[in-house]
Amino acid sequence: MTTTPDEPTGTLTGRPPVVDLATWQAARDELLVREKAHTREGDAIAAARRRLPMVEFDGTVEVVGPDGPVPFLDLFQGRDELVVYKHMWYDGAPHQGQCEGCTTTAWHMKDAVYLNARGVSFAVLTTGPWDEVAPYVEFMGYTQPWYSVRGVEEPVGGDMGYLACFLRDGDRVFLTYSTTGRGNEPVNGSLALLDMTPYGRGEAWEDNPEGWPVIGDVREGSPSERRQACWYWRTDANGNATWGPTSRPVPQWTRPGATPVETLGRHGHHH
């Protein structure tokens, strides 16, 4: 809404104060100083990241994809650099039972054309058996290459929920970097955009002004319980955040055949 001189300003409950454009610009410029410092520090950290030592391992170790077992070297697709996401897997679970956190990363990396243009390949690795992984990838509509690393040791297999970077020098392969937790956030552009909005992510840990509305108020208990981290990554058919039996990772509701049923894609029923 726009204000006129005879209307009160700065009195909207649970909203930022209302000011004129010049006052807003001054506050915006003050914050910009901090933002630029943050950007420069990020650049400095990236420079240090490029100077990390690296670990060599056997690039002929086999992973399983749509064409059967292939050497890890094939994932580079002839390029010198490779980024992978290591997707968690719950054996025998229906599609909606797979990790919603890993879904956010994989969903935001459906297209690697800009990485490819820079000489970087991308793939998703998971510990799931290929006969379960393949129908899940088809259901989700993922077009990036997926591989099963079941039984493969670190740094190709091992713990999941990570981003990892690799370098190839001929037939020699090296691990250069990995990150997990909030270190995965750069892949998820939606989080960066939410951080720009007045209400942010709507998570309890965020530092918000007094009186800020509780977004996603759909749970029993205190606001902190209602707004636990990532509360909106699973919803029911009506879009309500829930980890109930009819919930699934948010993007799955856009997939053909996604309904509140509990058996969709369950192991042994996906043929």
Instruction: List the single range of 76-80, 130-134, 207-211, 267-271 with lowest mean pLDDT.
Output: 267-271
Sign of CA dihedral 120, 124, 126, 132: negative
Burial 66-96 (b: 16+ CB within 10 A, else e): eeeeeebbbbbeeeebbbbbbbbbeeebbbb
pTM listed for this prediction: 0.88
Angle at 266 between CA 261 and CA 267, to 5 degrees: 170
For 72, phi and psi rounded to 5 degrees?
A: -55, -30
On the question of pLDDT at 215 being above 80, the answer is: no
CATH of range 55-180; options 3.20.20.70, 3.40.50.720, 3.10.105.10, 3.40.30.10:
3.40.30.10
For residues 75 and 240, give the distance between their C-alpha atoms in angstroms, rounded to a whole number: 38
User: Which neighbouring-strand residues pair with 180?
Assistant: 162
- Of residues 125 and 212, the one with the higher pLDDT is 125
Q: What is the pLDDT of residues 13-63, one digit of tens each?
A: 788 899 999 999 999 999 999 999 999 999 999 999 999 999 999 999 999
pLDDT for the residue numbered 260: 81
In the structure, what pLDDT confidence band is assigned to residue 265 with cuts at 50, 70 and 90?
Answer: low
- Smallest Cα–Cα separation from 119: which of 155, 166, 71, 183? 166
The whole-number pLDDT of residue 211 equals 85
pLDDT the model gives residue 258: 84
Strand, coil or helix: what is 112? coil
Give the per-residue pLDDT at 214: 77
